[in-house]
Structure 1
Amino acid sequence: MSSLSVEMLAADTAEPITSAGHAQLGIAVLVGIAVIVLLITKFKLHAFLSLTIGSLALGAAAAAPLDKAIASFTAGLGSTVGGVGVLIALGAILGKLLADSGGADQIVDTILAKANQRTMPWAMALIAGIIGLPLFFEVGIVLLIPVVLLVAKRGNYSLMRIGIPALAGLSVMHGLVPPHPGPLAAIDAIDANLGVTLALGVLVALPTAIIAGPVFARYAARWVDIAPPEGLIPQRPSEELERRPSFAVTVGTVLLPVVLMLSKALVEIVVDDPENHVQRVTDVVGSPLIALLAAVLVAMFTLGRAAGFARERLSTIVDKSLIPIAGILLIVGAGGGFKQTLIDIGVGQMILDFSNDWNVSPLLLAWLIAVGIRLATGSATVATISAAGLVAPLAADMSTTHQALLVLAVGAGSLFFSHVNDAGFWMVKEYFGMNVGQTIKTWSLMETIISVVAGGLILLLSLII
């Protein structure tokens, strides 16, 4: 166990910083979440500031000494950023290299060249899944939606028929598969095994993306029949490049960290001997930091240099990739501070006691908590981080696989019914040229299907493994 995990475990099992009873703690949680929701939705305050103020309100409502509440928030923020901040940064660099080198367009062009009318929705889901693996959701939308509009117009395809599968592929990866910020933060809070979570996340993501993507798209296309907005079909910037990396090299680079992390999890299961030389090697190369760092370094050659980028251009790409994630890092960090405040005032133990009394499945409880926060705040990342902090004590006596499933249950719940308080809702609405009602019937319903199907599959897996 890492020193970070030991510190988190020690913090989780320490004496609460308040003597409040369960009733007062329950009220404090509602006050803290209500403050966050109100600040985000009503006053449009940045999620970082909202989570910070909400954490202080949580501590105050629980009658915790202010200095101890501040210390809890600060410790949680530091440990969370220390645990996942570097991984988010490396993922951002890899995504930027993929986009700027033309590698993403190479994947798109290769798959679309082999697709026909019947297979096009499946091709779009596949494209979104591959490209969405290292990219943040908003970046993925900006990158893929123009491609969707272009394909729909040139190929005379129904916009919903190919757009919904692309959105489903992106969203499923965003909620269930690391190295996205939400799943990474949940893994850190619950202290789950990243390799096992990644493997089970992919296992859940594939059927979920199929049902919410190509299958649901058939019905969405009947309900909403619209043409691609003419003014939103841009020229593809990668056409200015003299050359692009090949399809095989691009896919191999994107999947490299996944392969390394999965190899670590597989060797741990098969060998199960910490002193074994093979396992010791895979423990190092399959650790998230080394896996993503290796992928970034490889991508500089396989993607960057293949596109003709000089060292100065590569340095500029790295600089530009890190600027947009500052806000994400602060939100994730503040979410970790909120999580630690919840734990330190004793809410985790309260949830543990209630779950024992009610005989409710911890996975279902985690899903429901994430759903509630998602509906209130509109942010999948905030919902994931907050819910993971609430249910983290439930993982103490779980097996490695069930800890991973707990992370996925939180991620699945965080995707439930995107509506008007979610920035993604408005991005999809504007890019597709839909009104609010049409967006709810397509995008919002698709997100709900993802959440429910993934949640059901996770509960099913919990009975099998």
Structure 2
Amino acid sequence: MNSIALSSIFVVLSIVAIIYLTARLKFSVFGSLFAVSLGLALVTNIPFEKIVDLMKSSFGSTLGNISFIIIFGAAIAVCMEKSGGALSIATHILAKSGKNNAKPAMAATGFIPGLTIFCDTGYIILSGVARSISAQSRTPMPLMAAILGTSLYSVHCLVPTHPGALAAASALDANLGYFILAGVVFAVPGLVAAYLWAGWMSKGQDYAPAVEEEAFASDKALPRFSHALLPVVLPLILISISTLATTMGYKEGFAKALHFFGNPVIALLMGMLAGIWLLKNNGGRKGDFNNVLEEAIMKAGPILIITGAGGMFGAIIRETGVGSALGDALGGASVGLFIPFIIAALLKTAQGSSTVAALTTAAIISPSLATFGLDSDLGRLFAVLAIGAGSIVASHANDSYFWVVTKFSNIEMQESLRVFTSSTVVMGLVSFACIWAASLVML
């Protein structure tokens, strides 16, 4: 058995070990990634004197690429929560739609704030709205939970203002501006499919609407809808303008300022400042800036550590040469997109974390992009989109988000598995089908 074949076996075993340690034994994700990375480096052909330096440099470089973005994104989420901005967006949409359109309104309510808010944070913030609308419209709560849960989850996995998608884009050197736009586009058909599937899975079931609870804050207690949108939309606009300028060939003169403010770090910084302004305009107090940053750092800290460890694990895998060997064995762009989707879907379903699934998949396929016919700007874009779609499949009992959706909706586990979990499977499959169909035309 040659060294590449042996290394391939060790890589597979290392992935299985991470799944077993985190999903079955409930070990720390960071501890599992660190231990398995070190173990993989020791049993493969990486020189002893290189191992520690490789682990340190890869951990640090991963954090250097995404740490500011994650911290500022977390700060926006804190501001939206404390100011009532997310609730303002929700109540405005629901007031415009009416009770008869409660379900599509709920989908829109999750989709818009979900562009920058982590899905679990967004669900916690909006779960009270979902229960209230379920009670008022007599919509079964498991259905309402699935609609809100998938609307937040679709963009969480496909838009790189979130850690998994961002880390995969960084690992594959994909254009973030294009990825944001394409991620939003491909999240829509997946969400529509999940919406229809959740409705079908709820038919004929004796699912009750939520019990009427105390009403959420009145419109007067919330920021204006247009103001609440600013922290969410501003970063997306700045990045999109920079991408458009690049596409049109504008790189010098005034375009330099556009590219500066369109850099994801600066764009999210502007979004955070808009969130601080929103918070101050809605009952904020002196010291809010410091408080928001401190809370954002506390929220972002665990994500940063896990992301850095995932990058370290990916660097060890790349050093083994297994990815290149996999590419040689599975060449062809038509096959190539299926590989990241399947790997990400298997990892996500097995160990529960979309971020770990996206990071690990990106590390595995990164050396193989040229062999797959994906070593171009568009090819890298479609590769990260395929990873994002795979990391949607499937949210179930080993995923913390599954329990957020279930517990904050006050529904039973089997109801959540039937409606919400099955909807995430459909959403991932339909999103990938659209991505693959588009690649046939554009690649």
Q: TM-score, normalised by structure 2?
A: 0.93
**Counterpart in 2 of 1:6?**
none
Which of the numbers 194, 216, 221 marks the counterpart of 2:202? Answer: 221
**Counterpart in 2 of 1:11?**
none
Per-residue Cα deviation, 1:8-58 (whole angstroms, up to 9, x for no partner):
xxxxxxxxxxx9622112111112112211211222111111111111122
2:401 counterpart of 1:443: no
* CA separation of 1:153 and 1:191: change in aligned 2, threshold 3 A: same
* CA separation of 1:419 and 1:288: change in aligned 2, threshold 3 A: same
**SS in structure 2 at match of 1:361:** helix
* CA separation of 1:257 and 1:20: change in aligned 2, threshold 3 A: farther
Per-residue Cα deviation, 1:121-173 (whole angstroms, up to 9, x for no partner):
11111110111111112111211222111211133222234332211110101
**Counterpart in 1 of 2:430?**
453
Task: Indicate if the aligned counterparts of 2:337 and 2:436 stay in contact, CA closer than 8 A.
Answer: yes
After TM superposition, give the deviation of residue 69 of structure 1 in Å: 2.7
**Counterpart in 2 of 1:363?**
337
Amino acid at match of 2:165: P
**Counterpart in 1 of 2:298?**
323
After TM superposition, give the deviation of residue 360 of structure 1 in Å: 5.6
Find the aligned partners of 2:360 and 2:420 in 1 and give their Cα distance.
24
Task: Indicate if the aligned counterparts of 2:392 and 2:424 stay in contact, CA closer than 8 A.
Answer: yes
**SS in structure 2 at match of 1:119:** helix
After TM superposition, give the deviation of residue 106 of structure 1 in Å: 0.9
* CA separation of 1:441 and 1:84: change in aligned 2, threshold 3 A: same
**Counterpart in 1 of 2:38?**
56
User: Structure 2: where are the runs of 5+ without partners?
Assistant: none
**Counterpart in 2 of 1:100?**
82
| 1:143-222 equivalent positions in 2, closer than 5 A | 143-213=125-195, 215-222=196-203
Find the aligned partners of 2:24 and 2:188 in 1 and give their Cα distance.
37
Task: Indicate if the aligned counterparts of 2:327 and 2:369 stay in contact, CA closer than 8 A.
Answer: no
Which of the numbers 396, 401, 405 marks the counterpart of 1:424? Answer: 401
2:360 counterpart of 1:379: no
Which of the numbers 198, 213, 227 marks the counterpart of 1:249? Answer: 227
**Counterpart in 1 of 2:384?**
407
After TM superposition, give the deviation of residue 105 of structure 1 in Å: 1.1
After TM superposition, give the deviation of residue 242 of structure 1 in Å: 7.2
2:307 counterpart of 1:332: yes
Percent identical across equivalent pairs? 29
Count of residue correspondences = 439
Task: Indicate if the aligned counterparts of 1:20 and 1:63 stay in contact, CA closer than 8 A.
Answer: no
Amino acid at match of 1:354: A
After TM superposition, give the deviation of residue 219 of structure 1 in Å: 0.9
2:261 counterpart of 1:285: yes
After TM superposition, give the deviation of residue 235 of structure 1 in Å: 6.4
**Counterpart in 2 of 1:74?**
56
Find the aligned partners of 2:210 and 2:137 in 1 and give their Cα distance.
15
**SS in structure 1 at match of 2:281:** helix
Per-residue Cα deviation, 1:195-231 (whole angstroms, up to 9, x for no partner):
0111111110112112212x22321321544235659
**Counterpart in 2 of 1:395?**
369
* CA separation of 1:223 and 1:285: change in aligned 2, threshold 3 A: farther
Amino acid at match of 2:192: I
Which of the numbers 272, 275, 280 marks the counterpart of 1:296? Answer: 272
Amino acid at match of 2:388: G
Per-residue Cα deviation, 1:261-319 (whole angstroms, up to 9, x for no partner):
11111111122x53x32432222111101111111112222x11210312313322322
Task: Indicate if the aligned counterparts of 2:150 and 2:191 stay in contact, CA closer than 8 A.
Answer: yes
**SS in structure 2 at match of 1:325:** helix
Which of the numbers 86, 102, 105 marks the counterpart of 2:68? Answer: 86
**SS in structure 1 at match of 2:287:** helix
Task: Indicate if the aligned counterparts of 1:413 and 1:455 stay in contact, CA closer than 8 A.
Answer: yes
Q: TM-score, normalised by structure 1?
A: 0.89
Per-residue Cα deviation, 1:175-202 (whole angstroms, up to 9, x for no partner):
0012100111011100111001111111
* CA separation of 1:123 and 1:334: change in aligned 2, threshold 3 A: same
Per-residue Cα deviation, 1:339-392 (whole angstroms, up to 9, x for no partner):
111111212212221222x77622111101111211221111110100011111
Task: Indicate if the aligned counterparts of 1:366 and 1:406 stay in contact, CA closer than 8 A.
Answer: yes
* CA separation of 1:433 and 1:66: change in aligned 2, threshold 3 A: farther
Which deviates more, 393-402 or 243-252?
393-402
User: Structure 1: where are the runs of 5+ without partners?
Assistant: 1-18
Task: Indicate if the aligned counterparts of 2:142 and 2:416 stay in contact, CA closer than 8 A.
Answer: no
Find the aligned partners of 1:376 and 1:229 in 2 and give their Cα distance.
31
**SS in structure 1 at match of 2:344:** helix
Amino acid at match of 1:461: A
**SS in structure 1 at match of 2:299:** coil
